[in-house]
A = this chain, B = another copy of it.
């Protein structure tokens, strides 16, 4: 229920905000030209120390604060970068966002956050809306086509996370290494047929994980069956359980922890107990030990990815050059309690 206490409109005067003190007022107060005030703030070394001090005192007294928008208009630099993620509610992203923000902050940049709801259309729209307000953009786990990404990269500095496009700076979390370890771990436990519960087909991570599965499995002489789950979510995982069991696999690796968690629930419903009857491994290790049994998973490096991506972007902005950087972060298997010997 909702209680709304409406006490009526306030008089106009009450909402009058102190509308900005301008550079001109400071200039007049300090008895200098506007340009000197501007310089006092941006390149104080060009002015005599006494002048700078006088200006600063006047500015202080008037409560002057430089107008960001005006500055952006004349310099073309707004000190903002955008970060677009497919699903902020997916626990993979918040740490990344946090790290990105921290890194941006160190250089006095602000972050525009975009959430695409896993929808390429929405992503396109957001990029368009952000362009022109940000100096550069980080696209995390983009669901856009290569062409769209390249098109955008032509318009503003872009850094990708978990998307591997030549010529565009990118930070890749190589879950391949971790997935390989996962497969080896399962094989060592005696599993001969393993299911891979896949994620979004447009996801680079998904392609990567699936092919790492296949490669590792064929190297070890065991079989892999892919079961589609479309969206990385609890429900997708839960709905996939029927198909997983139908493959006859005794173990599964899921595209991510959320999916794995769903699978776990689905298995419990079907009275398949984990890990004694079935082994399960997640990816991204976002759930830590909170599932029951605690989920064996492939570690993620999402914080580091966020930090590095922003750092790369800021470098680009500073140097005004694109370096074809391909920054790879390796991952590892974290063994907990959802894997055991096959029976």
Contacts and interface: CB of A to CB of B under 8 A. Distances in A.
A209 to B, nearest CB: 18
A69 B132 contact: yes
Quickly give the copy total for this chain: 2
Interface residues of A, number: 65
A112 interface: yes
A328 interface: yes
A147 interface: no
A6 B323 contact: yes
Contacts of A322: 9-10, 14-15
Contacts of A73: 67, 69-70, 73
A57 to B, nearest CB: 20
A327 B133 contact: no
A39 interface: no
Contacts of A291: 290, 292
Contacts of A3: 326-328
Interface in A97-128: 97-98, 101, 108, 110-115
B115 A112 contact: no
Given A290-B261, A323-B6, A98 B94 contact: no
A133 B110 contact: yes
A8 interface: yes
A91 interface: yes
A137 to B, nearest CB: 12
A18 B131 CA distance: 12
Given A7-B324, A112-B110, A80 B18 contact: no
Contacts of A2: 327-330
Contact of A89 (B89, B98, B289): B98
Contacts of A9: 321-323
A98 B118 CA distance: 12
Q: What are the nearest 3 A-B pairs in CB distance?
A: A292-B292, A113-B113, A7-B324
Given A3-B326, A5-B326, A69-B73, 5 more contacts: A6-B325, A10-B324, A98-B115, A111-B113, A113-B113
